[in-house]
Structure 1
Amino acid sequence: MSVTSHGRGPAAGASVSPVTSSGAPIESDVIVVGAGPAGSATATHLARRGLSVTLLEKTSFPREKVCGDGLTPRATRQLIRLGIDTSEAAGWLHNKGLRIYGGDRPFQLEWPDLADFPPYGLVRPRADLDDLLVRNAEASGVTLYEQANVVAPVLDDRTTRIVGVRTKDGRCFSAPMVVAADGNSTRLSLAMGLNRRDDRPMGVAVRTYYTSPRHDDDYMESWLELWDGKPGESALLPGYGWIFGMGDGTCNVGLGILNTSSAFGKTDYKDLLKRWLDNTPEEWGFRDENMTGPVRGAALPMGFNRQPHYSRGLLLVGDAGGMVNPFNGEGIAYAMESGEIAADAMAEAHYRGTGTASAERALESYPLKLKAELGGYYTLGRAFVKLIGNPHVMQACTRYGLPRKTLMKFTLKLLANLTDSRDGDAMDKLINVASRIAPAA
């Protein structure tokens, strides 16, 4: 079989074999490119289903990623499914729910008590979380290569199907199935011709850390109204903010803005963060002298903004496939969920016989299952972000909605996607029905 390497670099377009620089092939059943939560979860589930897995990471662990560091019960459930000990004794900071700032006063809601999800969320620095997940993958039998920067797919000349990848240092890895878990930039997807959809929402988030006496708060905070002065008497700023106590003397503080806002792309996000925090109480400590690191930013690809999620042997998981929840900007839960769904499809394909028509149908089931699970819900989310793109709509919703506790319980379940699939209450049934009847695009 002839294969061709496509992409940037001195060998782009040259015909090569998927071998190492020494001539020995590095083969496995599946290659996973990117070892964040999506990649590590995918690799772990694959290995536990009996497949040989190569996991490629362009950096070395531990390494930092821009994130709010807060995990809802939906993400907690996925960690438990991966066999991760999420107890406080294992170093996790638990939280009881969400405290929402907006209108006249903060409003506190506990996570719902459900059969399908644990009743607590978590906080853990991403550098620690990602390292823990990748070591869990290795313990499951995954082979990890660090400092393996993938620069090009290797394609079968006859079928244009991906059959491997090439790294910057000249190594080649071969497998009949490849997973792109390389984040929002996803160079591998782009090299395969899978571009971002412009009709899907995008967000930008910035965050930093401060030493603060609020570090041991057992509620995550969401600020739905950001003011550059006294609330109601100054300019309403675009976006929403968060404060997550880390339990180690610091807080992760940040804000996000959606591309449905007229301020998207026209705003100095670091200045926006400072203007908001300058109006928080002095004793909270969110001032420059207490900042422990720089302000960093990241893009949030939402609502399946890159499709198809399966094409020619390549499966997209996590941010590479735009899995971020449009309602609340949560990405880690859906990165791990998509990884498990992808692993199910690949394991089915492997045991049906790689290269057969039946195996191909198994792989094609992956995007169908994703849309069945999340497509309708994400359609509702896309409508939601268009609505709140107007900051005055957001202000009105918080002002008149927050005092109504039943409405806010419903809103929390909707925004966090926390409902029981069976035997749920009336709120669960309403959200589930709405998600089912919404078109999954």
Structure 2
Amino acid sequence: MSDADVIVVGAGPGGSSTAFHLAQHGLSVQLLEKTEFPREKVCGDGLTPRAVKQLVTMGVDTSEKAGWLQNRGLRVIGGGLRLELDWPELASFPNYGLTRTRMDFDQLLAGRATEVGAVLRTNTNVTGPILNSSGRVIGVKATGPGGEPQEFRAPLVIAADGVSGRLPLALGLTKREDRPLGVAVRRYYRSPLKHDDNYLESWLELRSKEHPDKLLPGYGWIFGLGDGRVNVGLGVLNSSVAFGKTNYRTLLTDWLSSTPDEWQMNDEAHADGGIQGAALPMGFNRVPHYTRGVLLVGDCGGMVNPFNGEGIAYAMESGALAAEIAVQALARPAGPERERAFAAYPAELKARYGGYYRLGNWFVKLIGHPEVMRIATKHGMPHPTLMRFVLKLLANLTDPRGGDAMDRVINALTRVAPAA
């Protein structure tokens, strides 16, 4: 007996998007979330036009009156220069980004899933898979809100349980050590001057007030939230010699000590909450993305963009793809024919992102060398046309057909790169 057509584990952006698209196609869905909404998640809270496109597809109102802060593009700071780059004008993506805290962003997406028919169960912690005699997953075990044991059964389980990936780990799917990994820390500050900035701000060079001539490891960001606060954070990649050897919280406060006093980010008085950190699983660092009745979505499958640390867009895109594949597969009889349909999911992921992620993996290795990053910043920042190309590449924003010369170059590079 099945409780649903599909069980989705985790109601973050990937899981809720998956549940939304599945339910919209008429499948019965159990969406299991271990916490209760609203709940905080460690994130930069910034969305590029890739993520905006997914929100629009889900029917989400992205206007400012609906609680979003729209932004025009990216402000890049490095090499003693500041450069404002507008999001490109494309047929495939909108020309604006968004910010919103995860406190209500995830709840909003889960709400969209339930509006179209998915059943959301919060405080339901999935503890492991249920296997049949041949080792195929036919459901999950969980503990309910009161700690009582529960079981949910379905022909398909979708794991969207984030970077920890407890469900795939239970199936023996561990992280690949040869793929990029990042660590990010962030904190909220009350900053009347910066909170409604209409550009996302990216810092390619970090310095402290005490030692202004010394370059700190990592890259930083300042994203206005429109509610009087900013999200400020930094990330360090595992290609850096500082990875795993640095107190990232101290690193953040050292960098912020050099920011202007009027920004109100260089003291504890204007902080809103503590410093929190999380891992960024990049470039398909957990595979295979389908095995024994389980599809992996988003961070669970290591789908964070190695170029810029963006995870939400790829979680939502992979969720939509997983739903599309699931609808087709579950319309077939159980057995080889259905499994053949499920196998299309990892194949399509590799076709969409494999070459691009491979380029990103090489990029991560390069910028792990401070001298390379210094040279790139020094010689790249003075050239706006080159930086517009870099923005398109790093944000993965091109028109796949047609487009301008930059689009054609980037698309060609991703096609010829061996898939990650």
TM category, shorter: over 0.9
Q: 2:238 aligns with which of 225, 249, 259?
A: 259
| SS of equivalent residue, structure 2 residue 149 | coil
Shift, 1:92, TM fit: 1.0
**1:177 has 2:156 as partner:** yes
Q: How far did residue 229 of structure 1 move? A: 3.5
What does the per-residue CA deviation read over 1:244-292, in whole Å, with 9 as the maximum and x for residues that have no partner? 0110101000000000000000000010000100001111100211001
Matched, 1:47 2:27: no
Residue in structure 1 matched with residue 48 of structure 2 by the alignment: 72
**Runs of 4+ off more than 3 Å:** none
Q: Secondary structure at the match of 1:171?
A: strand
Find the counterpart in structure 2 of residue 166 from structure 1: 141
How far apart are the structure 2 equivalents of 1:36 and 1:103? Answer: 37
Matched, 1:294 2:269: no
**Native 8 Å contact 1:26 1:172 kept in 2:** no
Question: How many Å separate the matches in 1 of 2:343 and 2:58?
Answer: 24
Question: Aligned residue for 1:7?
Answer: none
Other structure's SS at 1:392 match:
helix
TM-score of the superposition, structure 2-length normalised? 0.97
Gaps of 5+ in 2: none
Letter in 1 for 2:141: R
| RMSD of Structure 2 on Structure 1 (CA) | 1.0
Are the equivalent residues in 1 in contact too, given 2:68–2:99 (CA < 8 A)?
Answer: yes
Are 2:32 and 1:56 aligned? yes
> Which residue of 2 is the match for residue 422 of structure 1?
401
Q: 2:351 aligns with which of 372, 377, 380?
A: 372
Query: Helix, strand or coil: the match of 2:37?
Result: coil
- Matched pairs, number: 414
Q: Match for residue 18 of structure 1? A: none
SS at match of 2:139: strand
The answer as to 2:92 corresponding to 1:116 is yes
CA distance in 2, matches of 1:356, 1:51: 19
Match of 1:201 among 171, 175, 180: 180
- CA distance, structure 1, for counterparts of residue 347 and residue 412 of structure 2: 18
Contact kept, 8 Å, 1:56 with 1:148, in 2: the verdict is: yes
Cross-structure match for 1:9: none
1:349-368 Cα deviation digits (max 9, x unpaired): 11123x13221111000000
Percent of aligned positions with the same letter in both sequences?
Answer: 61
Q: Whole-Å Cα distance in 1 between the matches of residues 367 and 179 of structure 2? A: 15
Question: Which residue does the alignment assign to 2:79?
Answer: 103
Query: Would you say the 8 A contact 1:229–1:235 is kept in 2?
Result: no
For 1:351, give the aligned amino acid: A
Q: Distance in 1 between matches of 2:263 and 2:352?
A: 41
Distance in 1 (alpha carbons) for counterparts of 2:207 and 2:378: 14
The answer to whether the aligner puts 1:382 opposite 2:361 as a matched pair is yes
Q: Is the 8 Å Cα contact of residues 237 and 391 (structure 1) preserved in structure 2?
A: no
**1:4-153 superposed matches below 5 A:** 27-153=3-129
User: Aligned AA for 1:410?
Assistant: F
Looking at structure 1, the residues matched to 150 and 11 of structure 2 have their Cα atoms a distance apart, in angstroms, of 18
User: Alpha-carbon deviations, 1:64-122, whole Å to 9, x = none?
Assistant: 00000000000100111111111122111100000001012211100000000000000
Point out where structure 1 has 5 or more consecutive residues left out of the alignment: 1-24
Preserved contact between residue 62 and residue 68 of structure 2 (Cα < 8 Å): yes
Q: Please, what TM-score do these two structures have when normalized by structure 1? A: 0.93
1:305 aligns with 2:280: no
Residue in 2 that maps onto 1:440: 419
Cα distance in 2 for partners of 1:247, 1:85 equals: 16
Contact 2:2 2:155 in 1 (8 A): no
Report matched runs for 1:241-256 at 5 Å.
241-256=220-235
- 1:26 Cα deviation from its structure 2 partner: 6.2
Aligned match of 1:408? 387
Q: Does structure 2 conserve the Cα–Cα contact (< 8 Å) formed by 1:27 and 1:173?
A: yes
Cα distance in 2 for residues equivalent to 1:357 and 1:252 = 48
Q: State whether residues 159 and 296 of structure 2, in contact with CA within 8 Å, keep that contact through their aligned partners in structure 1.
A: yes
